[in-house]
Structure 1
């Protein structure tokens, strides 16, 4: 039973890593007033660009930087449309996700038509001696790949941006709650919103690269399979707060891992039911049945100076 619990925890954390990265950027974006539904497309674009870059160069590290560049490009498009041009944020996000899905599927046919996508250079696990032997937590936290450890560090750095007691966190919150008042106080609303969207793009692209280069060392059509949307759900379920959002990501990861360990635990639960549980939890969170939930006041509201 101990081995099964270790496997459940390790699998849960491993599956939660891309969620943590994507939701870290998404939380900042939403707290600044921008609903970034295109995080799914940014992850998918990052996964494809990372695999393509790694395959072309023979280096997984080059693949990571390629993924970051591609994610930021898509984030720039999102920022221009939803912030500069004040297009509907929901429509923009869904459209960019469709563009990313179609674009990466077509490009994969061209670049990986010979099956090369199944042999992409990637990152292997790097267990930390001694720490890996800690019961339950050891295999979960200290048997990650190099990119996994980088993901933990990036999430922690973005966590500083989450903190409401830092000047950056206060500025993000001010813009997300009342953009007009923040502008009158001298804050650059558009600059802050552009900045958090670009951070979201980089974090989501890194999450996609982690999927392709650390998890499977390959790229397949729609490899993200809705994980980007689940990152948005984690922010909602976490009630737009850092700690609960992290817990939501870990919960979602463990639920996904349970699909593989349930038989060993003696649980006879259908996989489709386990897949839907995170979204059921999100609905409960939004409805207020698991605690009060209040989104930032200016979320999805375009900023117009002088309004």
Structure 2
């Protein structure tokens, strides 16, 4: 494997990792507040579809990206209403929402994006930063992204800073996720904080879908996320609810995905199914507690019923 192949693998891996990182960062905020947003797959899919539809209709990739965020927030309202206000089962909500999103986007794509419209999308162009973009191996991967890609990274950095365990809002989110009843007794608005966490994760997921559609693939196809939303949830678990761990997890997933296509091309005889399985093997190891570090929030998926 030569340097050119390694450069292509890294560039492809980072391109896949950026929307995954954003979705996982948003998901981590929701989970730390005690709400498992398992509908991230559907949110990303709706974000991708809405961004492409608006971009094709208006000719503006920027408006398309905003539409992706709006679609994610719309799903977030539904999720927050059912999981926080109605205290419905969060896993059932997520599975049902993902099925709904798949049906809606499949039907919408056939009706509204037929005749090849989904393949001719006004999208964001890659930015070539002189000197650093030409660095060997890492240059194209780190300094050859689109404006939307860099915006996604800024959003991730903002979430990491604002919701860290050292800020007041981060401490409150962690308090609600660890012991909602005690947090409520101290005067914290538990349900409001949980709704905020869900909405942040939904907005991030919608933007991640737009990044996938308008910067990476530059088109829309049925079920184009292909499990990325679930991988975002897996990355949060594998990363132990810490942004640094999540970053390592999504980079691993991104490179593993790139290797699925690169290794067979160079004649490396590794079973394709094994490469597909690698992210989920890491998730199983993390869930089994074999990876040290922080455990899941104590009140994750536990409805808050108020003070007792």
Same fold (TM over 0.5): yes
Q: Which residue of 1 is the match for residue 178 of structure 2?
A: 177
| Alpha-carbon offset, residue 201 of structure 1 | 0.8
Q: Which residue of 2 is the match for residue 242 of structure 1?
A: 243
Aligned-partner Cα distance in 2 for 1:288–1:196: 25
Q: Which residue of 2 is the match for residue 95 of structure 1?
A: 96
**Partner deviation per Cα, 1:107-160 (whole Å, 9 max, x = no partner):** 111101222111111111112111112333221110001111111111111111
Gaps of 5+ in 1: none
| Aligned-CA RMSD value | 1.3
Give the TM-score normalised by the residue count of structure 1.
Answer: 0.97
Q: Which residue of 2 is the match for residue 287 of structure 1?
A: 288
**Equivalent residues in 2 for 1:101-140 (5 A)?**
101-140=102-141
| Alpha-carbon offset, residue 228 of structure 1 | 0.2
**Equivalent residues in 2 for 1:31-42 (5 A)?**
31-42=32-43
Range 290-299 or range 164-173, more displaced: 290-299
| Alpha-carbon offset, residue 7 of structure 1 | 1.4
**Partner deviation per Cα, 1:12-45 (whole Å, 9 max, x = no partner):** 1111011101000000110110000001110000
Q: Which residue of 2 is the match for residue 71 of structure 1?
A: 72
**Equivalent residues in 2 for 1:208-219 (5 A)?**
208-219=209-220
Give aligned pairs, total: 307
Q: Which residue of 1 is the match for residue 20 of structure 2?
A: 19
**Equivalent residues in 2 for 1:181-196 (5 A)?**
181-196=182-197
Residue 262 of structure 1 aligns to a residue whose secondary structure is helix
Range 1-10 or range 47-56, more displaced: 1-10
| Alpha-carbon offset, residue 162 of structure 1 | 3.7
**2:163 and 2:170 in contact (8 A); partners too:** yes
**1:4 and 1:264 in contact (8 A); partners too:** no
**1:28 and 1:161 in contact (8 A); partners too:** no
Gaps of 5+ in 2: none
Q: Which residue of 2 is the match for residue 300 of structure 1?
A: 301
Aligned-partner Cα distance in 2 for 1:275–1:263: 13
Residue 251 to residue 162, structure 1, CA distance change in 2 (3 Å): farther
| Alpha-carbon offset, residue 264 of structure 1 | 5.9
Aligned-partner Cα distance in 1 for 2:247–2:188: 28
Aligned-partner Cα distance in 2 for 1:77–1:41: 12
